[in-house]
A and B are shown apart, each in its own frame.
Chain A
Amino acid sequence: MRRVEAVKISKAVTELVRKASLFLRKDVLSALSRAYAAEKNKQAKTILKAILDNAAYARQEKLAICQDTGLPVVFIQIGQDVAVRGDLKSAINKGIEEGYRKHYLRNSIVGDSLQRGRSGFLPCIIHTDIVKGNKIKLTILPKGFGCENKSQLKMFKPTANIEEVKEFIVKAVKDAGPDACPPYVIGVGIGGTADYAGIMAKKALLRKISSRNSKLEKDLLKRINKTGIGPMGLGGANTALAVHIQTHPTHIAGLPVSVNISCHALRSASVTL
Chain B
Amino acid sequence: MGELNVVGKNVERVDIRAKVTGRAVYAADMDMPGMLHGKIIRCLEYAHAKVKSLDFSEAEKMPGVVKCLGPDDVTSKTYNQSVIDLMASEQEAEWMGDIEEQNIFTKHVKFYGDGIGAIIAESEEQAERAAAKVKVEYEPLPVYLTPEQSSAPDAVQFVPEKPGNRAFQLPAEMFPNNCLGWGDVDEAFKEADLIVEDRFYTPKQKQCQMEPNNYIALYDDEGRLNCWASCQMPKLAHVKLARLFEMPMSRVKFNQTVVGGGFGARLGLVMEPEVCALALAVPGRPVKIQQPREEDWLSSPSRHPSDYWMKMGFKKDGTPVAIDAISKNFKGGYYLDGSALASTTGFWLQGMYKVENLRYRGESYFTNQPVCGAYRGYGNPQTNFVLEQIVERGCKELNIDPLEWRKKWHKTVGDNSWIGFTQYSSCALDECLEKGAEAIGWKDKRAKYENQTGVKRRGIGLSVGQHTSGAAPMILEHTTCTVRLNEDASAELLLACSDLGQGSHTTLRQIAAESLGFPIEDVHLNVGDSDANGFDIGAHASRTLYVGGNAVKQACEDAKRQLFERAAKKLEANVEDLDMNLDKEIFVKGSPSKSITAKDICEVGIYNFTNPMTGEANGEAGQIQSYVSYMPDHNSPPFFCTFVEVEVDMETGEVKLLELVSAHDIGRAIHPAICEGQMEGGAQQGLGMALTEEMYFDENGKVKNNSFTDYKMLGASDMPKMTNILVENPDPHGPFGAKSVGEAGLVTPVGAVANAIYQATGIQFTEGPITPEKILKAIKEKEVAA
Partners in one complex: no
Chain B residues with a Cβ under 8 A of chain A:
none
